[in-house]
Amino acid sequence: MTLESAAWWMGIVVIAAPAVLVTAMATTTLLAITISESAIARLTQTCVVSGFLASLFEFAYMLLSGNRHIEIKLGEWVSVVDEHHMNPFHFELQFVFDRLSVPFVLLSFVLIGTIGAFAQRYLHRERGYSRFFMLYALFLLGMVVATLAGTVETLFLGWEFVGLSSALLVAFFQNRSAPVRNGQRVWSVYRIADAAFLVAAIALHHNVGAGDFSVLMGTGPWPYGQASLPSEVAIPIGLLLLIAVAGKSALLPFCEWLPRAMEGPTPSSAVFYGALSVHLGTYLLLRVSPLIQLSWVLGFVVVSLGLSTALYAARVARVQTDVKSALAFASLTQVGLITAEIGLGWNYFALAHMIGHASLRALQLLRASSLLDDQFSLENAVGGHLLHGEEPQRATPALLSGYRFAINRGSLDAWLDRLVVLPFLRVFQYCDDFECHVTSLLSHTNAPQDWSGVLPAAKSDTEAA
């Protein structure tokens, strides 16, 4: 009994620790109180370590007690009890510790904690030190909330925190234009993913009445849940969720945001895009894996999306000339494979792959700047030049077009701009012109006012086109 309540309280600590950190950082920033670097570092350390220890406790408790599913309910946002309806309609703030979330939350704490220690020295005396740690805290909170979420809405909350902090970290060096532009690009892709996610959540509510994963995926602890949705509902919802996953995990056709995200300081690139953020999509996919297993169509779509992303990224990675882009595409290859594994229903394998890959990539990105040194010592060990750049002796047209495809990264963004963004912009432009026309007609002025300056977002999107 006492152990059970201890487990409950420790669960609260896991979530509260990052929440406290965010609150503290946000309040001081809001009140324009400058706190010293060392105070920020200590605060971050305390919160991360206590969150880590608490989740370790949960892990041990689950191992020892045999309880594989701990729920923590923090009350309802909305609860509509309807006598005539089968399911009462409610939004619940609920967290779940199970076989999926505990390893992932442990991974998050270890990686984010290590990166925190790294960044503390790496960003020493940098302007924006506290801004970085503010966003870092938000990211941590987002990861923890999204990982432990027991309902779709809670997951969405964490998902949004992660999205916001990631986009702002890409644009960390806000006085140069490239980071801001790329940050905006990442943000727009995230919005598409979010929109799909939101629609999926609403559809779920519409059909089931609640967003609880347990209702959705059946009652068994992960991964033995049995989804109870009819497949004509499951397929559209699954596809919508897949769009969300593709956006978050940079699967086709959204791949190009990942290398763009390498604008921030190295530690944020490492943990956020190389290691954790990019896996959040596949994590969602794992979470709803019972849904995927419901219909072979979904499974097929997931596998083919995963494999094609992996093939694409492996191809593109081969020609990258800078270390961060190469690592970004290498990450993407594995994320694609992990997605395919989930589609095949190899859930544990995918989980292990995800965790291993995240750790490895974080280390590789952190020491990306050692590239020249590493190369030098490898050459010394081998005793000669490492000519791993294969020089094609005679370039066949096929090779040439393959290379062109790879160096242009498949022009994915350009295609998106041309096929999706531009038509949208044209419609809006038309509406705008029409409105100006009508207002000028009504107000009897001849010169319609030029409103285009009010739409800076539209402007930079066409620039990228």
Partner 1 sequence: MSACQTETDNLPSVGSVNDADIGKIVQQIAHMLPSQGPITVFVHHNTLHAYEHLPFSEAVIKAADDYDCHPYLREEDYRVALQSGRIAPIDLERELHEVLEENGDDLVGFLGTRHDLWMSMIEHPLHEGSEGEIRWFIEETDALYRFRREVPSSQSQESVFHIKQWLTDRAQSQSGDDCPIGSALSLLLDRFDGSQISEWAHEHATAFSLHLLWETCRYGSSLIAPATSNASCAIDTNSADDLVNDVLIRFTAAFLDQGFAHLGLPHRGRGFWQSFCDLYSNAAAPQPWLQDVARRLRDFEAEQTSPEQSIATSLRNLAVDIDSADSFLLEELLKLRGWAGMVWQMETNAEWTIHPAPPGTLVDFTAVRLVLLEAARRHIAKPAVKQALPPTPCRKLNRAFLVFQIAQVRGWSAVDLLQLTRREWGSLLAEIEAFDSRMRRRIYHQAYERHYRVEALKAIAKSSLESSRSQRTPQEPAYQVACCIDDREESFRRHLEEVAPDCETFGIAGFFGVAMYYRGASEAHFRPLCPVNIKPVHYITEEPAYSEVAASRRRSLARKAFGHTAHRVVRGSRSFVGGVLTGLLGSVATLPLVMRVLFPRLAARVSNSFGGIVADRHTQLRLESGDEESSQCRGYTVDEMTAIVGGFLDATGMTGRLSPLIIVFGHGSSSLNNPHAAAYDCGACGGGKGGPNARAFARMANDARVRARLATLGINISDETSFVGGYHNTCNDSVSYFDLDLLPPRRRSLLELAFADIEVARRRDAHERCRRFESASLAFSPEAALRHVEGRAEDLSQVRSECGHATNTICVVGRREWTRGLFLDRRAFLTSYDSTIDDSDCSILAKLLAAVIPVCAGINLEYYFSRVDNRGYGCGTKLPHNVTSMLGVMDGAGSDLRTGLPWQMVEIHEPMRILFVIETKPESMLAIMNENPTIDGLVRGEWVQLSLIDPNTGAIALFRNGKFECFEQSPADLPEAASSAAWYAGNRNHLGFAIVNSTNAIKAKRVSA
- Hey, which residues between 123 and 152 contact partner 1 (CB under 8 A)? 123-126
Q: Which of residues 334-353 bind partner 1 (CB under 8 A)?
A: 334, 337, 352-353
435 binds partner 1 (CB under 8 A): no
465 binds partner 1 (CB under 8 A): yes
> Please, which residue, 88 or 356, has the CB nearer to partner 1?
356
> Which of 26, 63, 378, 457 contacts partner 1 by CB under 8 A?
378
> Which of 174, 226, 375, 449 contacts partner 1 by CB under 8 A?
375
Spatial distance between the Cα atoms of 42 and 343, rounded to a whole number of angstroms: 42
SS3 35: coil
> Which of 42, 85, 176, 191 contacts partner 1 by CB under 8 A?
176
SS3 99: coil
> Which of 76, 82, 322, 435 contacts partner 1 by CB under 8 A?
322
Q: Which stretch binds partner 1 (CB under 8 A): 62-70, 235-243, 297-305, 361-369?
A: 361-369
Q: Which stretch binds partner 1 (CB under 8 A): 8-16, 155-163, 203-211, 381-389?
A: 381-389
152: left (phi over 0), alpha (psi -120 to 50) or beta: alpha
Q: Which stretch binds partner 1 (CB under 8 A): 157-165, 245-253, 280-288, 423-431?
A: 423-431
Q: Which of residues 392-411 bind partner 1 (CB under 8 A)?
A: 392, 395, 399-400, 403-404, 406-408, 411
> Please, which residue, 235 or 307, has the CB nearer to partner 1?
307
SS3 84: coil
66 binds partner 1 (CB under 8 A): no
Q: What angle do CA 192, 197, 200 make, to 5 degrees?
A: 130
Alpha helices in 221-276 (DSSP H): 231-248, 257-260, 266-268
Residue 76: φ, ψ to 5°? -105, 145
Q: Which residues contact 461 (CB under 8 A, 6 or more apart)?
A: 188, 417, 421, 425
**Shortest Å, Cβ 158 to partner 1:** 23
SS3 23: helix
Tell me which amino acid residue 116 is.
G
Q: How many residues bind partner 1 (CB under 8 A)?
A: 111
> Which two tokens mark 330?
């290498």
Q: Which of these, 272, 58, 220, lies nearest to 148 by C-alpha position? A: 58
Q: CB neighbours (10 Å) of residue 459?
A: 11
Q: Which stretch binds partner 1 (CB under 8 A): 7-15, 235-243, 288-296, 414-422?
A: 414-422
> Which two tokens mark 170?
């890409």
Longest C-alpha distance within the chain, in Å?
82
87 binds partner 1 (CB under 8 A): no
**Shortest Å, Cβ 447 to partner 1:** 15
Q: Which of residues 285-314 bind partner 1 (CB under 8 A)?
A: 310-311, 314
